[in-house]
């Protein structure tokens, strides 16, 4: 895998994980976003970034961060919801932010926006893979961090890049 391809894979994984990260700690969103940009062009820094992302996945979801995430996600539908729906969901965020995120996940699957369709905030799965386009091909980055997390050693990360189709196929 080339350095450019690894960076694109990391960007795709970030696209899919950033709201799940936000549900844990908004400060981590800023930190990971900035460190990904800084890691461009440096394989070791990209591997370290992936390790940090997998460490954040292990952090607990907090109610305050979950509320913040739900409010951010509601922004995607502000023009598509009736004032009554907006008010209902905004109120529900205070009482049941996870329920709001679940409802928004149903809306994403039904109506889009496509950008959010692969977000891990709507899936109860490990943050192990993302699909992306690269030089006319459709690729999947797959990350296995079990040994790295168990030992605290980022060098034990296993990163796989698989061609899953060509540009005629849909990237999610």
Residue with tokens 């900035």: 34
Predicted local confidence at residue 167, as pLDDT: 59
The structure's pTM equals 0.89
N-terminal to C-terminal alpha carbon distance within the chain: 21
> How far apart, in whole angstroms, are the C-alpha atoms of residue 144 and residue 147?
8
Predicted local confidence at residue 81, as pLDDT: 87
Predicted local confidence at residue 170, as pLDDT: 53
Closest by CA position to 49, among listed 95, 24, 87, 17:
17
Q: Secondary structure of the chain: what % helix, strand, coil (to 5)? A: 60, 15, 25
Predicted local confidence at residue 172, as pLDDT: 45
Phi/psi at 155 (nearest 5 deg)? -70, -15
> What is the rounded average pLDDT of the residues 84-100?
93
Number of H-type helices and E-type strands within the chain: 7, 3
For the stretch 130-163, pLDDT in tens is 999 999 899 999 999 999 999 999 999 999 999 9
Cα Rg of the chain (Å, integer): 17
Sequence-ordered list of residues with C-beta below 8 angstroms from that of 172, at least 6 positions apart, any chain: 114, 117, 118, 131
> What is the rounded average pLDDT of the residues 74-89?
89
Q: How confident is the model at residue 115 (pLDDT cuts 50, 70, 90)?
A: confident
Q: How confident is the model at residue 171 (pLDDT cuts 50, 70, 90)?
A: very low
Phi/psi at 73 (nearest 5 deg)? -65, -35
Closest by CA position to 9, among listed 124, 122, 127, 153:
127
| Mean of pLDDT over the chain | 92
For the stretch 35-70, pLDDT in tens is 999 999 999 999 999 999 999 999 999 999 999 999
């Amino acid at each position: 895998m080339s350095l450019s391809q690894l960076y694109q894979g990391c960007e795709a994984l970030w696209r899919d994980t950033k709201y799940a990260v936000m549900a844990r700690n908004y400060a981590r969103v800023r930190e990971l976003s900035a460190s990904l940009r800084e890691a461009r062009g440096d394989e070791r820094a990209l591997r370290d970034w992936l390790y940090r992302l997998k460490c954040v996945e292990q952090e607990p979801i907090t109610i305050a961060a979950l509320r913040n995430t739900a409010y951010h996600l509601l922004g995607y539908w502000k023009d598509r919801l009736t004032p009554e729906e907006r008010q209902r969901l905004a109120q529900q965020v205070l009482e049941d932010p996870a329920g709001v995120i679940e409802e928004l996940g149903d809306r994403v699957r039904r109506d889009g926006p496509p950008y959010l369709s692969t977000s891990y905030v709507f899936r109860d799965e490990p943050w192990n893979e993302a699909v992306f386009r690269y030089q006319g091909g459709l690729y999947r980055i797959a990350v296995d961090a079990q040994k790295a997390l168990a030992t605290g050693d980022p060098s034990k990360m296993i990163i796989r890049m698989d061609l899953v189709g060509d540009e005629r196929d849909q990237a999610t």
